[in-house]
Amino acid sequence: MAKYHIKKGDEVIVIAGDDKGKKGRVLEVIVKKGRAIVEGVNIIKKSTKPTAKYPQGGIVEMEAPVNVSNLSLIDPKSGKATRIGYKFVDGKKVRYSKKSGEEIK
């Protein structure tokens, strides 16, 4: 199992691929596959049978997973892509932006 620089709920930007430049919130991180589902990014159309959730059935648009290496966290100050560092503050390990040095919550 690998440790990733992004977590559920983080604001990220896509740095490579067809959706390069798009921003969104991480909905889910799939650790075993090294992928993440990001809101509004990598939209696919999927044919579905009628179910309780989709009584009409038909074609549904949904987010497909994106490789974690193609995502970068957004710096809280500048709003641009940044790398992540870890430091200890009051005995707790916290993530911080390497660009601005600001703590990421």
State the distance between the two ends of the chain, measured CA to CA, in whole angstroms.
Answer: 23
Q: Where in the chain is the domain with CATH 2.30.30.30?
A: 1-74
Residue partners of 80: CB distance under 8 A and separation at least 6 = 13, 74, 99
Long-range contacts of 51-60 (CB under 8 A, 24+ apart): none
For residue 74, name the pLDDT band (cuts at 50, 70, 90).
Answer: very high
- pLDDT at residue 100 tops 80: yes
CATH number of 1-74: 2.30.30.30
Query: What is the mean predicted confidence (pLDDT) over 36-51?
Result: 94
User: How would residue 68 be classed by pLDDT, with cut points 50, 70 and 90?
Assistant: very high
The pLDDT score that the predictor gives to residue 4 is 87
Average pLDDT across the chain, whole number: 93
